[in-house]
Amino acid sequence: MKLNLKSLLLIGLLMLSIAGTAAASTPIQLALFNPIQLKPEGESVEGIRLSLIYGKNSSLTGLDWGLVSHTTGDVVALQWGGVGYSEGNFTGWQNNFINYTKGEFLGLQTGFIDYAKTSTGVQYGFINYGENVTGLQLGFINYAQKMTGLQLGLANIITSGGFMPIFPFINFSF
């Protein structure tokens, strides 16, 4: 029997799937859309998650790539795709068309729309939004309820404690 690369990959994925059944985390997650994915949504991924349409897991450490990536817990990752949605905290680089972190964000968000409840680092997008921001917002529209840092863009809004509540091109609060 002659094995080609495709057969070896399928055998490897099957073995990882069987070996990880009793484990609380998996090194590889492939998802068409939830619940059609290798591992159930309640498992963590410590490795690589590829979500062709929609993937959902409890937490993730590693590389996350997909059209829609949803995590109910914390993420420490490099994430690329269409929509990145983290219900917990996110540490790393979130690079999606839409980035949404419900918890604390630490790192770099690059996308068309960047949202973080609490953000420490850099938001670089068309629209950047944070309730409590420490760092830099660089975009067309920047919004922070409270900020320790700098905003650069066409419309810069800091509702509490900024240089001005709304100011074009630059706004800051230190």
Strand partners for 82: none
Report in angstroms the alpha-carbon separations of 47 from 22, 34, 44, 55, 149: 17, 18, 10, 14, 34
pTM: 0.84
* Model confidence at 22: pLDDT above 80: no
Share of residues in the chain with pLDDT > 90 (%): 84
Strands (E), 18-89: 25-33, 36-37, 44-57, 60-71, 75-86
**pLDDT one-digit tens code per residue, 23-53:** 479 999 999 999 999 999 999 999 999 999 9
| Residue 124 token pair | 């670089």
Identify residue 40 by its one-letter amino acid code: P
**pLDDT one-digit tens code per residue, 56-88:** 999 999 999 999 999 999 999 999 999 999 999
Q: Which residue has the tokens 């979500």?
A: 51
The range of the structural domain enclosing residue 126 comes to: 5-173
Number of domains observed in the structure of the chain: 1
| Residue 47 token pair | 């490795």
